[in-house]
Structure 1
Amino acid sequence: MILIKNIEVFDPKPIGKKNIFICFDKIAYISHSVNIPDRNFPQVEILDGTGLKAIPGLIDLHIHINGGGGEGGFYNRTPELNLTKFTLNGITTCVGLLGTDGITRNMAGLIAKSKALESEGITTYCWTGCYSVPTRTLTDSVRGDIVTVDKIIGAGEIAVSDHRGSHPSEEDLIHLACETRVGGLISGKCGVLHMHLGDGKKGMAPIFDMVEDSDMPFQNLLPTHLNRNKLLLKQSIEYLKIGGFVDITTGIKNEGDEAVSSAELYTAILKENISPYHVTMSSDAGGSMPFFDSRGKLTKLSIGMPSTDMDSVRESIEKGLSMELALIPFTESPAKFLKFKNKGIIAEGYDADLVLLDSKLNIHTVISRGKIMVQNYRPLVYGTFETK
């Protein structure tokens, strides 16, 4: 049991200074004062929250937890991410996925890594599939994966308008979206088709066509990487205006001359009077960030980092957004969109996933599922193969 005293709480909206009582993996009580009985009561660890801010643990819906890359050959395969890559960056819930490589990386390995991270202390889910269509699955179908595998919530990341994908037709995308949606309906999950957008000439046009020519609800479609070039920037706002939902990549700022930061696109979206609950943000951590020349030759490769999520929160606030607006794409919005019960806000009965920030918005303490993972800026819990 943990009692956090005298802390400023953003749930993500500001609710003032409170005391937060955590019992096992849940937030049991939030009040101006919490009195712990002197006798016949289990031991409670007390944390002094004076000068700190409590925010919900971050939800990152696009992370290559078991590595990605490989566009430049086998030696370009990026490594798996260890536990502290998540906790030190405030991520208490993540959704793992495959990318370009669905051959040497596969769904069995993704599920295994997901279960390993959950055993070590954070909450994990997965997308099924990879860039290609037909895509790679664990069972005989996308629908089968979503219905029968508890961790799989939808399909992704399916590549659209990217030379590394398989150039799916409109019929391919509609079929895959329908399979994903029905899998979600049967299993009670979100059933979302999560689509990677590349630098291809058509941009989001295939998604606009799919929406126009099918009965697929916007709630089952989530395109990502939309801040990578000018065409996608413009199309993403058009898509939002007709009711769509988008995911912005926090780690994409340096990928090409036309890329903008997630905070820059998000602020532009809000200026169009679009709801922040139609926007999520994710890091693409663990994935490769390749640069190709005009002939399609790989010129350099970097790796996505989970630290870009909190960097985006800070940049959004520097641009004049409130803490609440800066946090929504990482907390309440993805929790609602992905149907994650008891996640995304600080409230009684919800999972005890909290991040405590100092006055400079640096991560001081991280609590995941009621356990202190980071304290005083240092990890208390390490992954199985991490060195202290």
Structure 2
Amino acid sequence: MTTTERTAASCFLPSDEPLGLVTADGTPAPDPALAMPAGDVLLRLYRGMVSGRRFDTQATALTKQGRLAVYPSARGQEAAEIGSILALRPQDWLFPTYRDSMAVVARGVDPVEVLTLLRGDWHCGYDPYRANVAPQCTPLATNTLHAVGFAHAARVKGEDTVSLVLVGDGATSEGDTHEALNFAAVWKAPVVFLVQNNGYAISVPLEKQTAAPSLAYKGVGYGMPSVLVDGNDAAAVHAVVEQAVARAAAGEGPTLIEAVTYRMESHTNADDATRYREETEVEQWLTRDPISRLKQYLTDRGLLDDQTQQEIDARAEEEAAALRERMNVDTELDPADLFRHVYAEPTAALRQQAAELAHEYTEDQA
């Protein structure tokens, strides 16, 4: 390898420590590699995280009340979710996972439609084209390939569109992620891969998934820049993703970002996290809360006062109350929908099955 090649390869390497702009106690920590977002952007990030957490806790409560079949909480990951979403442009697309409900809501999708999947009514309860949000992905890593294919197609058509794909640390162990990273780099597709490393793939800790110094190092082998960022620092996440989006839009190809964060709740309501992690570990991460650190930073700079805080809290409560009220209404389902949207023109076998179900359903209602 020549000196020039080694220099080029070193540009792909992430930093030794996660990039950050605000420390856990709210103190500024300037980084020459990142520009601190403007005050109004920071306030938007804070509003989004407060609303996102309130949505998350409300959805958890609805699950306990039997209104949702399952809910994967993202409490503790607000900075990674909201920070990345607010860095997108209107024409960009989001490719989320099942844990990214608050990100989908922050992108502008009706929260009731978001929870329709988790209630079991539909696979995707919203129109993906209305807010440029692909269906939430439940199988690990399949959304990575969707994002790359979509972004590549957009570029071929001459469209100015960037795909942001969200995955967890567990998804990086899947073959689909390898294929997506490889094709994205080869095609120089306008894609931003954001890995929310929350420490566990259900119950499997990160050290049992990879021997790499960090997940960000995986980008080096594919020939794309990799960034390691403090996933609980909303300002830093926003700055990093904004840079990556701009780079992708300029035709410079994909970026792999690892946001180091933590999942405060269990994997889902069906999981018991106490079986594989200690309470002391959770308590340690509570001191790195993404909302508290940005609140302190904003307060110290006079960007957040008591009245504004009350308005933000009140708005979040109003949104939660509206969600609760709408989710407490039983859904009227049409059994014919099982067949209605399978093919544009139903096959003979499908028509026969639909007729048989309709007959049985009519008899049951009699």
TM-score by length of 1: 0.37
Task: Give the structure, 1 or 2, with the largest relative contact order (CA under 8 Å, sep 6 or more).
Answer: 2
Which structure is higher in helix share? 2
Structure number, greater radius of gyration: 2
TM-score by length of 2: 0.38
